[in-house]
């Protein structure tokens, strides 16, 4: 008797699962028909423009003090390695 009850319960669960899948796909198809394609709003530069804009050289004026500090740091590394 328990076997029959569990068997019927399993059949009910399977039927509900199959009906749920059918309803899911049917509602999905209806939703796609109601809405047209979503327009893409392009604002600002494109990806390629942003990528290649970064390759432009950016120059900064350096003073003699900056070059002196750079010289000291580089030769400091040289002395530390020797």
Buried b (16+ CB within 10 A) or exposed e, 17-49: eeeeeeeeeeeeeeeeeeeeeeeeeeeeeeeee
- Higher pLDDT residue, 22 or 79? 22
| Mean pLDDT across 71-81 | 82
The pTM (predicted TM-score) of the whole model is: 0.38
Q: Tell me, what's the pLDDT at 22?
A: 94
Q: Tell me, what's the pLDDT at 35?
A: 62
Each residue's pLDDT tens digit, 30-74? 776 666 667 767 677 777 777 776 665 667 788 899 999 989 988
CA distances from 49 to 1, 39, 55, 56 (A): 73, 21, 10, 11
| Mean pLDDT across 12-19 | 97
In this structure, the number of other CB atoms found within 10 A of the CB of residue 66 comes to 11
């Amino acid at each position: 008797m328990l076997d029959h009850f569990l068997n019927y319960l399993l059949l009910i669960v399977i039927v509900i699962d199959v009906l749920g899948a059918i309803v899911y796909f049917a509602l999905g198809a209806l939703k796609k028909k109601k809405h047209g394609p979503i327009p893409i709003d392009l604002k600002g530069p494109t990806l390629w423009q942003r990528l290649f804009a970064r390759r432009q050289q950016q120059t900064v004026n350096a003073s003699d003090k900056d070059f002196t500090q750079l010289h000291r740091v580089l030769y400091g590394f040289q002395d530390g390695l020797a």
